[in-house]
Amino acid sequence: MAKAKTVFVCQNCGNESPKWEGKCYACGEWNTFVEETKITGKAKNSRPGTVLAERTKPMPVSKVSVEEMPRLSTGNEELNRVLGGGLVPGAMVLIGGEPGIGKSTLVLQTALNLPNVKVLYVSGEESPQQIKLRADRISGASADNCHVVSEVSVEHIIKHIENEQPDVLVIDSVQTLETERIESAPGSVSQIRECTATILRVCKDKHIPVFLIGHITKEGSLAGPKVLEHMVDVVLQFEGDRHHMYRILRSIKNRFGSTNEIGIFEMLGSGLREVSNPSELLLATQQKQMSGVAISAALEGVRPFLIEVQALASTAAYQNPQRSVTGFDLRRLNMLLAVLEKRAGFKLAQKDVFLNIAGGLKVNDPAIDLAVITSVLSSNMDMTISPDICMTGEVGLSGEIRPVTRLDQRIGEAAKLGFKSIIIPSYVKGVELNKYDIQVIKANKIEEAFKFLFA
């Protein structure tokens, strides 16, 4: 017999407590416990979409057939790259990002472009009329393969799945779903966990791939319990600045492919456009040479591209110098400035330093360290760096230039874009430098790179 009891659930990590507590001892957050009703007993197993035990039988892994489950192409090369080649039947893909970044646009554009595939688009935030207006703006033509419905009840969504028999399911968004078995409000930990688990069981049984759109918190992490990320097969993060036109689709978790892949898009009035060669767009065309600008051969995932690093060093107007960055780690900038002052002898303690990665990108590759310190030094001395020179290398605390990964791809990308010289770490192993039509300069210390650039 089913029983109902009251528990307090942390809205940050999903930890349960029999009484209200000010601080969650599991995650350390304050004032996150919310009272919810939990159903226990036999009713706990009477969930829609439960796979019957007699339908599944254990078998050797060598006899499991995967021939009837080919990957489904999304029609979007950038999205296919991030997914590992396309959608796997029965896979659940969670896409998170800031409000207004383009999550719904990306999924709807993908749904409209899927050829000969029936898509069920379930929206809990917009009406079918609003979805139709956005679809007309994106594609300009009606797509009969995409069926839209505005629904938040999981029980009703499962009925739509059984009636429509779609090939792909889209849920926008998971925070709006609710189930009758949980009495808490939509968006709570219990609702998100139970609704996702119910849809997961149904779609795994019917081999239907699912796109889940999720909100993120003010800290930038996916909203809801951490168990949500463990339940799904793929977690994608849609990043970018709303004031810039570039968007990056980054893989955080992928059970069917690599997490080192990224997809780059350009936000236009007609939707998202795939960027096949981001290097040409991220390099600004300048009429004249300017100080404080350096080009770095960066790597995002397994994809090399050249980015423009801009720096400005000026005398501090106040007692405490300012350190401001856009698209780079502030703590790493402070470390590199300390290396410049200690190892190279440049006094920057009383200078304001501002750093910007052009294009609104956020780059975590340590190989742009050399471009960061050379751009700061170029601005400080007001000396320009030749636009035909690019560089790559991680800078250590002793001022040495450390080796980087996939050096051959970085050099090849620079040679393809017409650069005449590239500065690389002196330690090179397994790379044939003679096959590239570009001058390769090896540098062991940052002083050697400075002598070549500012001689």
Which residues sit in the known binding site?
97-104
Task: Report the alpha-carbon distance of residue 288 to residue 376 in Å, rounded.
Answer: 19
Annotated binding-site ranges for ATP: 97-104
CB 341 within 8 A of CB 351: no
DSSP string, 292-347: TEEEEEEEETTEEEEEEEEEEEEE-SSSSPPEEEESS-HHHHHHHHHHHHHHS---
430 close to 411: Cβ distance less than 8 angstroms:
no
**Helix-strand-coil split of the chain, %, nearest 5:** 30, 30, 40
Residue 220's identity, in one-letter code, is G
Report whether 119 contacts 146 (CB < 8 A).
Answer: yes
Kind plus residue range of the DSSP H or E element containing 441: strand 439-443
Q: What is the DSSP letter of 27?
A: T
150: number of CA atoms within 13 Å, CB side? 8
